[in-house]
Amino acid sequence: MKKTALSIIAVMLCLCLVACGNSEKGMTDDEIRKAIVGAWTTEYEGSRMGFIFNEDGTGFATLFPMTYTIEEGVITITIEAFGQTETGSAKLDLEGDALVLEQDGEIITLQRTEMPE
């Protein structure tokens, strides 16, 4: 249970990060949504975190169901876990198969990975 609680905290920290946006790259919100569809993973403070983004605005953050929206290059993710709902927002920076998030000089990079079966 302690590890699960730590995973939720790590996921929420990741979601609250703010990065440089795709507006300079000319991507529309719809193009960004289509580009992030799939599975992404990262190592954060010794824990592996995974995200699955579906095109319909649903997905999973680690093992927890989530929904997301993208407006003006900013993704807002809502995660429900253990009877609580948490929401976080971040601007996206896509660099090939990497999704880079940054806040106050701290950078977290998620790598595209194979979809679990």
Which residues does residue 50 pair with via DSSP β-bridges, in sequence order? 41
Average pLDDT over residues 59-88: 90
Mean pLDDT of the chain: 79
Residue partners of 23: CB distance under 8 A and separation at least 6: 72, 73
**Greatest C-alpha distance within the chain:** 43
pTM over 0.85: no
Query: Taking Cα atoms as reference points, which of 81, 95, 98 lies closest to residue 38?
Result: 98
Average pLDDT over residues 96-116: 79
Model pLDDT, residue 12:
55
Residue 38 scores a pLDDT above 90: yes
Query: Which of the two residues, 58 and 105, has the higher pLDDT score?
Result: 58
What three-state secondary structure class fits 96? coil
Report the CATH number at residue 87: 2.40.128
**What is the per-residue pLDDT across 39-50, written as a single tens digit (0 to 9) for each?**
999 988 888 999
Average pLDDT over residues 64-80: 89
- How many distinct structural domains can be found in the chain? 1
Q: What is the DSSP letter of 42?
A: E
Residue 22 scores a pLDDT above 60: no
Residue 2 scores a pLDDT above 70: no
Range of the domain at 13: 2-113
